[in-house]
Amino acid sequence: MEKMSFNIDRTTVTEGEIVQVDWNCAGAERAELTIDNGHRATAIPLEINGSKRFRLNRSRGKTSLTITAWVGGKSYSKTLKVKVKEIPLTHAETVGHDGRRQWLPDHWLRRLRSWWQAATARRRQSLAALPPDKRLATRLLMIIGAIMLVSIFFPRLMSFGVFILVIYLLWFMYKR
Percent of the chain with pLDDT over 70: 90
How far apart are the C-alpha atoms of 64 and 26, rounded to whole Å? Answer: 22
Q: Where are the domains of the chain?
A: 4-85, 122-175
Span 52-91, pLDDT tens digits: 998 888 788 889 999 999 998 899 999 999 999 887 766 6
Helix or strand (DSSP H, E) at 23: strand 18-25
Q: Give the CA angle between residues 148, 149, 152 to the nearest 5°.
A: 85
C-alpha atoms less than 13 angstroms from C-alpha of 87 in its C-beta half-sphere:
9
Closest CA to 139 of 128, 149, 150, 153: 128
Q: Which CATH number fits domain 4-85: 2.60.40.1930, 3.65.10.10, 3.40.50.1170, 3.30.360.10?
A: 2.60.40.1930
Span 8-23, pLDDT tens digits: 999 999 888 889 999 9
